[in-house]
Amino acid sequence: MHARNIWIVTQCRIRSAAYFRERAFVALLILALGAGMQSALATVPKSLRSGHAHMLELAKGIASVYSDRFEGRKTASGEAYDRYALTAAHRTLPLGTRIKVTNISTRRSITVRINDRGPFRPGRIVDLSPRAAVAIGMPVDGLANVQIQVVSRAGPTGSGAIEVNL
């Protein structure tokens, strides 16, 4: 009986050594990723991390105009696409987020609401409704270099003033 207990303890030690080696690797991996996330969070202003409305430059890139063929179809937010609304599509920003889009060449800007996903062409950062495109001096069938900034993270039905800077 005494020998059987030693064998079980020995088996447990062997198993637990492998178990702890695997767990140690996973723990180190999690710690490394956590440290990386904390350093990434440190670059984001505290006011933005806490959810307050704050202007933050997200990106500079190419904006395109939504095609008229989507008129009346449902967007990712569930509402029908309206070419006359001040809306936009972005791949990752939460639906309902308001962003300020500035045409770099004309320096005109407008605040639009994200209500769809896209653009799906490489190199483009936002799809604008034709009304929004015209407001910033962009050709309706063309492209423009723009800068986008988060204005607020309100819900799709949240209130917020629409701003047009000419």
**70-80 residue pLDDT tens:** 787 889 889 99
Residues 119 and 69 reside in one and the same domain: yes
Per-residue pLDDT of 141-150, as tens digits, reads 789 999 999 9
Whole-angstrom distance, CA of residue 162 vs CA of residue 166: 13
List the one residue out of 88, 80, 71 whose CA is nearest residue 129: 88
Domain of residue 1: give its range. 1-43
pLDDT at 59 over 80: yes
How confident is residue 40, by pLDDT bands cut at 50, 70 and 90?
Answer: very low
The H or E element that residue 47 is part of is helix 46-49
Q: For residue 156, give the CATH number of its domain.
A: 2.40.40.10
Residues 60 and 119 reside in one and the same domain: yes
Residues 35 and 75 reside in one and the same domain: no
pTM greater than the 0.75 cutoff = no
Q: What total of structural domains would you count in the chain?
A: 2
List the one residue out of 61, 56, 84, 59 whose CA is nearest residue 71: 84
Residues 39 and 62 reside in one and the same domain: no
